[in-house]
């Protein structure tokens, strides 16, 4: 008998496939902004994920985007995909705009600008101390909407973790800036992010979270 999470995952994939028929390249998050910078981890209360518990600086390549691809002035689900250049290789982390408290942190929200959004991993990682949600929120100036990102913008975010129903604990800072083309314009990237293939060091996944996502991710890789 098919497990409920696997059945739901296949349902998500069917919807994803329908959108992919119209947008074959990027069904969701069709346009974005390429960013680069670093994750600075100060160390603190142990999350149970090695990358977040030891002080250090990790280079980051990122893509900020809007999920549905609505015009920049419209509210949309904000997405931030991160690729961390760790000692163990590339590690991908996907964050989306959600609520911040329980139960809102498990529901997507829509915003006009990146700085107005609170971003979370939505589903937990398996840490050595139990399930861990990751989150980020703007710590400085709002850089604006993904479609109107300023070339001179500097985007600083707090990186935090929490147990699914626990309080947020700060573990580091993300410092990002847009990558410009030869004409000094903000550019996008063809880079694809996949947290199921490029896992965070010391962070496992739960079978139910993989079952929800793996069918859609398999379609996205084609």
129-149 pLDDT tens trace = 999 999 999 998 999 887 788
Q: Which of 98-102, 183-187, 202-206 has the lowest mean pLDDT?
A: 202-206
* Residue closest to 217 by CA, chosen among 188, 193, 189: 193
CA–CA distance, 144 with 99 (Å, rounded to integer): 19
Strand-pairing partners, residue 137, are 118, 158
Q: What is the pTM of this model?
A: 0.85
pLDDT for res 206: 84
Residue 202's pLDDT band (cuts 50, 70, 90): confident
Q: How far apart are CA 222 and CA 144, in angstroms?
A: 32
Query: Between β-strands 125-127 and 130-138, what pairing exists: parallel, antiparallel or unpaired?
Result: antiparallel
- What are 50's two structure tokens? 């090695």
Asked whether the CA dihedral 77, 78, 83, 84 is positive or negative, the reply is negative
Nearest to 60 by CA among 93, 28, 88, 32: 93
Alpha-carbon span 121 to 47, nearest angstrom = 14
What is the rounded CA–CA span in Å between residue 118 and residue 104?
11
Give every CB contact of residue 81 below 8 A, 6+ residues apart in sequence: 29, 62, 63, 65, 92, 93, 94, 95, 193
pLDDT tens for residues 41-82? 987 779 999 989 989 999 999 999 999 888 878 999 999 999
pLDDT digits (tens, 9 = 90+) for 19-41: 444 445 566 678 899 999 999 99
């Amino acid at each position: 008998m098919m497990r409920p999470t696997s059945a739901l995952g296949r349902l998500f994939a069917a919807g994803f496939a329908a959108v992919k028929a119209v947008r074959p390249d990027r069904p969701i998050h069709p346009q974005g902004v390429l960013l680069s910078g670093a994750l600075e981890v100060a160390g603190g209360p142990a999350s149970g994920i090695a990358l977040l518990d030891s002080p250090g600086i990790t280079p980051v390549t990122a893509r900020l985007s809007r999920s549905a691809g609505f015009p920049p002035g419209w509210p949309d689900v904000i997405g931030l995909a991160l690729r961390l250049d760790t000692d163990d290789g590339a590690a991908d982390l996907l964050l989306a705009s959600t609520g911040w408290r329980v139960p809102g942190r498990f529901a997507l929200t829509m915003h006009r600008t990146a700085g107005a959004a609170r971003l979370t991993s939505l589903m937990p990682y398996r840490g050595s101390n139990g399930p861990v949600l990751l989150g980020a929120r703007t710590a400085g100036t709002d850089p604006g909407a993904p479609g109107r990102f300023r070339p001179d913008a500097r985007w600083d975010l707090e990186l935090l973790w929490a147990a699914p129903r626990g309080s947020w604990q700060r573990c580091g800072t993300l410092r990002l800036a847009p990558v410009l083309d030869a004409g000094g314009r903000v550019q996008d990237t063809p880079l694809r992010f996949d947290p199921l293939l490029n896992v965070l060091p010391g962070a496992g996944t739960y079978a139910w979270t993989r079952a929800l996502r793996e069918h859609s991710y398999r379609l996205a890789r084609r």
